[in-house]
Amino acid sequence: PKRFIKQIPESILSDPALNAAIALLPAAYDFEIHKTVARLRSSGARRAALQLPDGLLMFSLPLADILLGSVLADPTYGACCLDDFAASALSADLLLHYGHSCLVPVPSSLLPVLYIFVDIKIDVPRLVSSIKSNLALAGTVQFISAVHAAKSSLVVVPQAKPLSPGEVLGCTAPTIVVFVADGRFHLEAFMIANPGIKAFRYDPFLGVLVLEQYDYEGMKRARREAILAARKARNWGVILGTLGRQGNTRVLDRVMEERGTVVLMSEISPARMMLFGDSVDAWVQIACPRLSIDWGEGFVKPLLTTFELEIALGLIPGWWEDYPMDYYSQDGGNWNSTYAKK
């Protein structure tokens, strides 16, 4: 952003060696190297840890060479996977988190965090010409600047606070119609929450607009069966996700008011869960709701989200209508894992 450029010393902006290194990176990707170097120097940080999602991991080694940092290569599925614990164990004094917005408040992190969205430049006029009518528009954080550049030709850029206007997570979505991204995982959050609205996806790399489909009835049937099966459970297991900040202890405290034995787990998989045998009749996971929604049928025992647990225990009325995708929305339900104040 222009407001930050004025704060960057001219000695950094005009550094020939630094600019030569930046020139080797893809021109369409803004890794905000100048701002990052300025932050490293002004903060006196001696060791930086770099964390990137899989789609950007190919750039991690060049970035580490430029910034003299270490790479955290564990899976980073989303903004909830902020791994300040691993960075702290590495004795890093600054975590550079790429590709996501600030979902976990910086004051709650174990060390200072600099969020770098990695803005990707795309052909905005082509995006606008592909839509041709008044539609709502959103996308992943890398394309938010393009979304806002196209805003004057559209009607609304929706927002689900605390996310940025137009931003969508795989578990939190506003009401949208056109989604800008090269994949559909995040778009599925909208399709789950809004089964009656057509969902279009604009692929910024292919320059095409496609109508996406989602088997909502199949998902709803599978989740209902899991909830009804879990109601018969006598022994509950409560999984607190340890991949980054997926697990929220506030939600854990609420769940433990009801029942369950706590199990810490970074990667939740059917094979791993089968090791517990018949000692657990049903599970509730405080990690990612999409684990249950997308892959729940692959588990032998019911694997519920915190929202589904409240239905199974009779704390809220049975859901058989629209499925809420508000896991990190500040206006979400009590099962919600947001760090923002409501």
pLDDT digits (tens, 9 = 90+) for 192-202: 988 888 888 99
pLDDT of 341 above 80 = no
Whole-number CA gyration radius for the chain:
21
Q: Could you tell me the domains of the chain?
A: 2-116 (3.40.50.11840), 124-212 (3.40.50.11850), 216-312 (3.40.50.11860)
The model's pTM is 0.78
Q: What is the pLDDT of residue 342?
A: 47
Confidence band of 154 (pLDDT split at 50, 70, 90): low
- Residue-wise pLDDT for 72-101, tens only, equals 888 888 888 889 999 999 999 999 999 998
Query: DSSP H helical segments within the chain, as ranges?
Result: 2-5, 10-13, 16-22, 33-43, 60-67, 84-89, 124-131, 144-149, 185-193, 216-230, 249-256, 270-274, 289-295, 306-312
Number of Cβ within 10 Å of residue 275's Cβ equals: 7
Indicate the burial class of 337 (C-beta count within 10 angstroms; 0-12, 13-18, 19 or more): buried
In degrees, rounded to 5, the angle at the alpha carbon of residue 266 between the alpha carbons of residues 263 and 268 is 75
pLDDT of 118 above 60 = yes
pLDDT of 259 above 90 = no
pLDDT of 46 above 60 = yes
pLDDT of 3 above 60 = no
Indicate the burial class of 116 (C-beta count within 10 angstroms; 0-12, 13-18, 19 or more): buried
- Residue-wise pLDDT for 157-208, tens only, equals 667 666 777 676 666 665 657 888 889 998 998 899 888 888 889 999 998 8
Q: What is the pLDDT of residue 70?
A: 85
Which one-letter DSSP state was computed for residue 106? G
Taking a C-beta distance cutoff of 8 angstroms, is the pair 190, 173 a contact?
Answer: yes
* 341 or 331: which leads in pLDDT: 331
